[in-house]
Amino acid sequence: MIEGTHEHKDETEEQIHIVSPRIYILIGATLLILTGTTAAVSFVELGPFNVVVALAIAVIKAMLVVLFFMHLRYSPRLTKLTAISGIFIFLGLISMTLADYISRAWGRW
Amino acid sequence: MSDSTTIANAAVAEAGHPHHGEHPPFQRHHFESVVQQFDAANFAMWLFLLTEVMFFGGLFMSYLIMRNWYYPAFVEGSHFLSIFWGTSNTAVLITSSFTVAMGVWCAETRRKKGLILCLILTFILGLMFLGIKGIEWHAEWVEYHVPGLHFSAETFLNPASAPEVYKEYHDKPLSLGMANKTELYFFLYFAMTGMHALHMVVGIGILAYIIFRAWAGAYTTGHVTFVENFGLYWHFVDIIWIFLYPLLYLISRHQ
C-alpha cells in the first residue's frame, strides 16, 4: 500500500531536481560563445539577415537560460505550461498590435 | 492529506533523505511536503515573471513600431552606442547568471562557503554591469543625447561633427524632421536600459540581504526556495538584456 501511494505521487517529483555544475559550466560557456558570435556576425554585411541572425541567436540564448539556468526543463508541467503560455500571450499581443498598426491608413509601413 | 500519504512521506524521508525529516521547521503547515511548498513558491515566481514579460513587452513593442516608422533616425542613433561596452556588459551579465546558478547548486547541496562566494561574485558582477552602463550613459550625456534634459540633434544634422562615429559609419545628414526623431530613439534607449538597470538595482539590493542571511546559514538547511526564486528573477533580467543587446547595439550597423 505504501508502495502504491508512492507511485501515485510520482506525478510531482519527490525531490527538488538538482542540476549539476557540469551543465551550468557548459551552458555558461555556450552563452559566452554565442555572445561573441553575435557580436562578430554584426560586423559582416548580411543585409536584412543581420537582424534575423542577431534575433535568432538571442532566442537561442534565452532558451538556454530558461531551460537550464531557470530549470524549466526539470520543472513540473504546471511551470512549463505557465512559461509557454506567457510567451504565447506575448506573441499574440505583438501580432494583434502589429496587425492594427500595419492595416491603418497612416502609410508609414 | 490522507494517512497513507503521510506514511508515504515518512517512508520516503526515512529511506531517502534523512536530513529532511517529516516536518522540517521551514515547512508551512498547509503544505503536504517541502517539494510541494517549493513548487508552489516557484509557480508564483513564474507568474510574477510573466507580468514582467508583459511590462517589458510594451517597451519592446514601442521600439519595434517606432524603429520601422523612423528607421533612419533609429539607425543613426544606434551608431552612437559602443559595441565594445555593450558586448562586455552582456558577458558580465551572463557570467553573473552563471554564478547565481552555481549559488543555487551550492544551496541545494548545502555548501555554505560556496554559496556565499557565488553570491558575492554575483553582487560584484551586478555592480560592474551598472558601472559599465554608467560609462555608456555618460558618453550619451556628453554627446547631448539625453532626451528632454540634455539633447541636441546637431550630430544627426551634421554627422561630421562627431568624427569618431562618422569615421566608422559615414552617416548621411538627416532632414530636420527625421533628425529630431532621434530623440525618440534615445528616449526608448534610456527607458529600456534604465528600466533594466532599475531591475538590476532591486536585484542587487535583494542580493545583499540574501548574502547576509546566507552568512547566518539560512539557505543551507534544505530551504532553498528564496535563493532559487531570486535566481529566477536574476536570470529573467539577464534574458531582457539578451534581447536589448542585439536590438539596441547590433542590428543597425550596416543600415
Residue A103 lies in a domain: yes
Q: Do B250 and A19 touch (CB under 8 A)?
A: no
Residue range A22-59, pLDDT digits in tens: 999 999 999 999 999 999 999 998 888 999 999 999 99
- Whether residues A42 and A68 share a domain: the answer is yes
- Whether residues B125 and B168 share a domain: the answer is yes
- Whether residues B19 and B41 share a domain: the answer is no
Taking residues B139-165, what's their average pLDDT? Answer: 88
- Whether residues B25 and B42 share a domain: the answer is no
Residue range B7-36, pLDDT digits in tens: 445 544 544 554 445 678 888 888 888 888
Residue range B173-200, pLDDT digits in tens: 888 989 999 999 999 999 999 999 999 9
Q: Which structural domain range is residue A69 located in?
A: 17-74
Residue range B84-105, pLDDT digits in tens: 999 999 999 999 999 999 999 9
The answer to whether the CB of B208 falls within 8 A of the CB of B123 is yes
Residues of chain A neighbouring B69 (CB-CB closer than 8 A): 108
Cell matching residue B52: 514582467
Q: Do A69 and B68 touch (CB under 8 A)?
A: no
How many separate domains does chain A show? 2
Distances (CA, A) of B78 to A58, B135, B189: 18, 16, 9
- Whether residues B76 and B186 share a domain: the answer is yes
- Three-state SS string across B166-221, please? HHHHCCCCCCHHHHHHHHHHHHHHHHHHHHHHHHHHHHHHHHHHHHHHHHCCCCCC
Q: Do B39 and A87 touch (CB under 8 A)?
A: no
CA distance A74 to A52: 30
Residue percentage of chain A with pLDDT more than 70? 83
- Whether residues B124 and B145 share a domain: the answer is yes
Residue A23 lies in a domain: yes
Residue A2 lies in a domain: no
CA distance B228 to A7: 27
A8: distance to nearest CA of chain B, Å? 10
Residue pointed to by grid coordinates 542540476: A19
Q: Where are the beta strands (DSSP E) in chain B?
A: 145-146, 150-151
- Whether residues B79 and B135 share a domain: the answer is yes
- Whether residues A100 and A57 share a domain: the answer is no
Q: At B146, which CATH number?
A: 1.20.120.80
How many separate domains does chain B show? 2
- Whether residues B176 and B246 share a domain: the answer is yes
The answer to whether the CB of B246 falls within 8 A of the CB of A55 is yes
Taking residues B164-171, what's their average pLDDT? Answer: 85
Residue B192 lies in a domain: yes
CA distance B74 to B3: 65
The complex scores an ipTM of 0.86
Please name which of B194, B221, B250 lies closest in space to residue B79, comparing C-alpha atoms: B250
